[in-house]
Amino acid sequence: MRGIFYAAGSVKGFCTPALWAHGIVVSSAAPANAVPVAEYTVAVVVLWQKDFWRFMGKDYTAPRAVPGNYHRTIGIIGASLVGRETLRLLGSYDMDVLLADPFVTVEEAVRLGATKVELPELMAAADVVSLHAPNLPHLRHMIHAGLLARMKDGALFINTARGALVDEAALLAELQTGRISAVLDVTDPEPPVPDSPFWTLPNVIYTPHIAGSMADECHRMADFALDELDRFLTGEPLTYPVTEAMLATMA
């Protein structure tokens, strides 16, 4: 075996030390899977600022005071593949974008279309906070009560990453005050337990892990993997080679 060209996301399940010892090349289609997750995120951001869900089914007599998207502040947590694709898509809008990621420099954040800030500052300043960090053991409950308490009244929290990154008891406590709202594509456990308030709170929109590649979107990942194979066979550099060192910070 000379190479593995994985038409999906995480390769951690099969990337053993023996694989690296034999010099086997590994490529992941994670960049292709990042596309629909970022599209979901940006769609939520844009529709939320237009108060889309409140206006569903309403007529012209409904109060029409909505914030809109112009110069609203969007906070992106994590310059992961999904985070970076989300930043790229947000570049089409006149929004003020903040980025919190300890591995990104101020200069790189600017190139990505964002202003680098520390996580507490992002939580306090953003009208919408979107989580894109990897699901690693040391990041469990990285979004905790202290950070959630810093969010603006009326702000939105989006999680398309993993539920374990969030202290969901603390998130529920904030949501039950009605002070903030949430759009959750992931929870811990997943799905939420039957009696979870996530099912019934009016300020929570829960979707059953649909942000990632589904149906025809899976063809994008297959195309990516086949393109990587072609690059490998023709001696071209791979678009997304995975190295052993990368596994420490990958989901």
Distance from C-alpha of 232 to C-alpha of 223, rounded to nearest angstrom: 14
Question: Which amino acid appears at position 167 of this protein?
Answer: D
pLDDT digits (tens, 9 = 90+) for 31-46: 999 999 999 999 999 9
- What CATH number should be reported for the domain whose range is 35-206? 3.40.50.720
**What is the distance in angstroms between the CA of the first residue and the CA of the last residue of the chain?**
25
Phi, psi of 205 (to 5 degrees): -110, 120
Distance from C-alpha of 251 to C-alpha of 248, rounded to nearest angstrom: 8
pTM of the model: 0.94
Question: Residues spanned by CATH 3.40.50.720 within the chain?
Answer: 3-31+214-249, 35-206
- Mean per-residue pLDDT of the chain: 96
Q: Would you state the pLDDT for residue 60?
A: 78
pLDDT digits (tens, 9 = 90+) for 235-248: 999 999 999 998 88
Structure confidence at residue 55 as a pLDDT band (50, 70, 90): confident
Structure confidence at residue 57 as a pLDDT band (50, 70, 90): confident
Catalytically active residues, by annotation? 162, 190, 209
- What CATH number should be reported for the domain whose range is 3-31+214-249? 3.40.50.720
